[in-house]
């Protein structure tokens, strides 16, 4: 990914550093193209830690067209490093769930085919509705770490049949990013313009999991709210300690 005025180089990644509103014009440009395949990932501090021990994951992040800073820790880290003139600061945290919703609205307006792969049994059918839009859906794999040949075949056939313009992959990191990278050719050949890794975004959009109240998000405490309602995340949150170590390492590099 080439460095532009809209990105900040942070932890060897080019993170989008403009306002979220600027993304809409980028998406509209991509959708207006006669061809082209574009990837959007949403790294947060936890994923930065994961990428340090997973070279394939790091390469996948580096190949994205847009990397959204989906974590207030990245914004805070960028401002600390900027104070010591190490990097340019990120403008704001951009939540992947909000960007996914923006893309869904564009798809509704343009009557585009959308496919969601993965997630928590969003529908007993192979589609679900969201704010007036019909969205194709498939769980993809019963166990993403052990996909069967039949599951792979069925998923590929579904992509070929639907030929979606936008694909959301909800396997969780790093599986979702690695899957997209491994299937770039398949997706591009079947008309996909935008592929986005969304984690549990549709859990929030469909009301399966409550999102943090506005003031929690405004204070950068959405991670705390998620920990309160999903205490099993504690082990994952411990990666924040490692993230702090990475920030300190950057300060003295």
Q: Are 45 and 73 in contact (CB under 8 A)?
A: yes
Residue 72 lies in a domain: yes
Domains in the chain: how many in total?
Answer: 1
Percent of the chain scoring above 70 in pLDDT: 98
| 28 contacts: CB under 8 Å, gap ≥ 6 | 106
72-83 helix and 45-52 helix, angle to the nearest 10 degrees: 80
- Taking the C-alpha atoms of residue 108 and residue 34, their distance in angstroms, rounded to an integer, is 19
The yes-or-no verdict on residue 5 having pLDDT over 70 is: no
pLDDT attached to residue 4:
54
Does 231 score more than 90 pLDDT? no
Tokens of 116: 């969601």
Tens of pLDDT, residues 36-88: 999 999 999 999 999 999 999 999 999 999 999 999 999 999 999 999 999 99
Asked if the model's pLDDT at residue 181 lies above 80, the reply is yes
**HSE, side-chain direction, 13 A CA sphere, residue 16:** 29
- By CB neighbour count within 10 A (0-12 exposed, 13-18 middle, 19+ buried), where does 41 fall? buried
Q: Label residues 89-115 b or e (16+ Cβ within 10 Å = b).
A: bbbebbbbbbbbbebbebbbeeebbbb
Note whether residue 2 is domain-resident. Answer: no
The domain of 223 spans 7-251
Domain assignment present for residue 69? The answer is yes
pLDDT digits (tens, 9 = 90+) for 82-140: 999 999 999 999 999 999 999 999 999 999 999 999 998 899 899 999 998 889 999 99
Question: pLDDT by residue (tens digit) across 148-179?
Answer: 999 999 999 999 999 999 999 999 999 999 99
Confirm whether 1 is domain-assigned: no
Structure tokens at 165: 């313009």
**Domain for residue 205, yes or no?**
yes
Calpha distance 140→156 (Å, rounded): 10
């Amino acid at each position: 990914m080439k460095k532009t005025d809209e990105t900040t180089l942070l932890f060897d990644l080019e993170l989008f550093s403009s306002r979220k509103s600027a993304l809409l014009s980028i998406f509209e440009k991509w959708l207006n193209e006669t061809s082209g395949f574009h990837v959007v990932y949403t790294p947060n501090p936890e994923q930065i830690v994961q990428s340090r021990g997973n070279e394939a994951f790091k390469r996948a992040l580096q190949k994205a067209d847009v990397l959204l800073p989906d974590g207030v820790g990245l914004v805070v880290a960028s401002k600390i490093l900027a104070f010591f003139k190490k990097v340019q600061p990120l403008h704001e945290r951009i939540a992947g769930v909000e960007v996914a919703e923006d893309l869904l609205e564009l798809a509704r307006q343009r009557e585009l085919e959308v496919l969601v792969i993965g997630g928590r049994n969003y529908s007993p059918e192979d589609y679900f509705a969201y704010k007036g839009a019909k969205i194709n859906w498939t769980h993809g794999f019963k166990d993403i770490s052990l996909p069967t040949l039949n599951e792979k075949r069925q998923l590929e056939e579904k992509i070929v049949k639907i030929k979606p313009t936008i694909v959301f992959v909800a396997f969780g990191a790093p599986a979702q990013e690695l899957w997209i990278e491994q299937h770039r050719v398949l997706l591009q050949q079947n008309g996909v313009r935008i592929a986005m890794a969304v984690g549990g975004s549709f859990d929030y959009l469909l009301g399966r999991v409550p999102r943090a109240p506005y003031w929690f998000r405004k204070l950068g405490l959405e991670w705390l709210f998620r920990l309160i309602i999903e205490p099993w995340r504690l082990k994952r949150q411990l990666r924040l300690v490692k993230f702090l170590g990475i920030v300190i390492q950057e300060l003295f590099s």
